[in-house]
Amino acid sequence: MKIIKGLFLSVLLLSFTSCDDDDDNQVIEETFNFTAQLSEINDSGVSGTAAISVQGNSLTVLVEAEGMTPGEPHPQHIHGLENGEENATCPPESADTNEDGIITIPEGVPFYGGVLLPLADFPVADENGTISYQQTFILGENGNPTVEDLSALQNRVIVLHGMNDGDGAYVPTTPAACGELSLQ
């Protein structure tokens, strides 16, 4: 009975301390899961899914995509607007402001913002154009953004880059797919 009482008290204490300073206390051991449906940009024909789970300062990313340019490395990032309270979105066709038929990285920035976390090492699509990627990042270490920098992941997007231009030349920067993250 004493042990149970002790446990109860420590749980009580823990919940008090974590409520105390939400802003300073960045290590929350609860797991948060996010998913995104990846849809094509620039008629790339790419589709896929992404999943992110965050526990404490450990962030694991899974990306499954098909229709990517085979045999090429595909840069991929978590993008977001500077103020995480503002919802980043995937760029609509009207984002192509110079109307050359291609939404470039800068043309997409007003919608999805800058790069918050490069999802390195960038995967190379196999001969079928498939990508299957998994990586864990320790936030706040190795130059990675902090948990706070990446807060409100439901307001962030994942962008996959790299596709052939009209002449069949591979352009690694061109956005090929995008998905808006939502909390599960």
Question: Which residues on neighbouring strands pair with residue 114, listed in sequence order?
Answer: 80
The least CB distance from residue 114 to Cu ion, in Å, is 9
The least CB distance from residue 116 to Cu ion, in Å, is 9
Residue 50 CB partners (closer than 8 Å, separation 6+): 35, 36, 38, 61, 62, 63, 64, 158, 179, 181
Query: What does the block give as tokens for 36?
Result: 């995104």
- Which lies closer to Cu ion via its Cβ, residue 112 or residue 139? 112
The least CB distance from residue 156 to Cu ion, in Å, is 11
The least CB distance from residue 36 to Cu ion, in Å, is 13
CB atoms within 10 A of CB 34: 21
- Which lies closer to Cu ion via its Cβ, residue 54 or residue 176? 176
- Which lies closer to Cu ion via its Cβ, residue 28 or residue 62? 62
In the block, residue with structure tokens 């997007």: 157
Find out whether 128 and 7 touch, Cβ atoms under 8 Å: no
- Which lies closer to Cu ion via its Cβ, residue 26 or residue 107? 107
- Which lies closer to Cu ion via its Cβ, residue 129 or residue 175? 175
Give the CB-side neighbour count of residue 18, counting CA atoms within 13 A. 12
Separation of alpha carbons 156 and 180, rounded Å: 6
Residues in touch with Cu ion (CB under 5 A): 77, 159
The least CB distance from residue 113 to Cu ion, in Å, is 10
